[in-house]
């Protein structure tokens, strides 16, 4: 079984087909998901993370059935949302990073040790007691990433991680992600972000339009996006 094994995923809340028969089976270390606004990328990320139970199909990550076995899912897969404020629930950096570790069953002192280790790794030990709301968006995004990394999941899902970040912060995050010792699944509108990846899946209106090596998928995706852009108006937006 591949590390990421999602088969025939169908998700249709209130009968609205958001994902239809999506397959993603890969052992690639760097996987990209591209598609237009409203094509179902975020929904797919949530299904892969086990946060949404699909109406059909099943996701296994590192063998764990993520929707049914939430405890196993915590060490199999982590997710970094596009907007850090959708993720953060605690007032201080230390509490925020410790939360997931506590969910995994670590004691307070064990969690604190791991929190300090991940803060140290990013040269941010002085952030432990910091109030999260006083950090910038890029800094809050880094707190979320540290929270995910502290749990050491096999797979990390990144939903447009660069949206809203300035160029230096993006470059820093890019270097950090490049170094991460986990499989990354990055959702993006920007084909350049995933051009060097192992596998790319193109979602269109909730279905797989194509998937495979980026050299095969991205030129067709870009040509299609350019074609749509030339004659597009906003009423054509998927969804």
Residues that bind ligand ATP (CB under 6 A): 13-14, 16, 18, 35, 37-43, 239
Q: Which residues contact 165 (CB under 8 A, 6 or more apart)?
A: 137, 138, 141, 173
Q: How near is the Cβ of 152 to ligand ATP at its closest, in Å?
A: 26
**Considering the complex, what minimum distance in angstroms separates the CB of residue 235 from ligand ATP?**
14
CB of 178 or CB of 190, closer to ligand ATP = 190
DSSP H helical ranges for 89-213? 93-103, 108-121, 137-150, 167-179
- Give the residue with the Cβ less far from ligand ATP, 16 or 234: 16
Residue whose CB is nearest to ligand ATP in the complex, by number:
239
Which residue in 85, 73, 34, 61 sits closest to 188, CA to CA? 34
| Cβ proximity to ligand ATP, 96 vs 159, nearer residue | 159
What order of strands is seen across the sheet that includes strand 4-11?
19-26, 4-11, 56-61, 64-65
CB of residue 43 to ligand ATP, shortest distance in Å: 3
* Contact by Cβ (8 Å): 180, 151: no
Nearest CA to 45 out of 56, 55, 34 is that of 34
Distance CA(157)–CA(234), nearest Å, equals 28
Between 91 and 239, CB nearer to ligand ATP: 239
Considering the complex, state which of residue 99 and residue 202 has its C-beta at the smaller distance from ligand ATP: 202
Minimum CB distance to ligand ATP, residue 237 (Å) = 8
Measured from the CB of residue 176, what is the shortest distance to ligand ATP in angstroms?
23
């Amino acid at each position: 079984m591949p590390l990421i094994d999602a088969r025939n995923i169908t998700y249709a809340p209130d009968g609205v087909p958001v994902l239809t028969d999506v397959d993603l089976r890969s052992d690639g270390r760097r996987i990209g998901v591209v598609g237009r606004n409203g094509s179902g990328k975020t929904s797919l990320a949530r299904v892969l993370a086990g946060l949404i139970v699909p109406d059909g199909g099943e996701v296994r990550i590192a063998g764990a059935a993520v929707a049914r076995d939430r405890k196993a899912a915590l060490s199999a897969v982590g997710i970094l949302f596009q907007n850090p404020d959708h993720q953060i629930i605690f007032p201080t950096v230390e509490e925020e990073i410790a939360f997931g570790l506590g969910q995994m069953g670590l004691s307070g002192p064990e969690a604190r040790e791991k929190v300090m280790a991940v803060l140290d790794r990013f040269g941010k030990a002085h952030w432990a007691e910091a109030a999260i709301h006083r950090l910038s968006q890029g800094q809050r995004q880094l707190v979320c990433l540290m929270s995910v990394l502290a749990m050491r999941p096999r797979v990390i899902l990144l939903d447009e991680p660069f949206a809203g970040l300035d160029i230096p912060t993006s470059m820093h995050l890019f270097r950090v992600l490049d170094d991460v010792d986990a499989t990354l699944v990055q959702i993006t509108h920007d084909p350049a972000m995933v051009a060097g990846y192992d596998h790319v899946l193109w979602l269109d209106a909730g279905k797989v339009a194509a998937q495979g090596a980026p050299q095969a998928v991205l030129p067709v995706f870009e040509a299609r996006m350019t074609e749509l852009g030339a004659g597009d108006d906003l009423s054509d937006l998927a969804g």
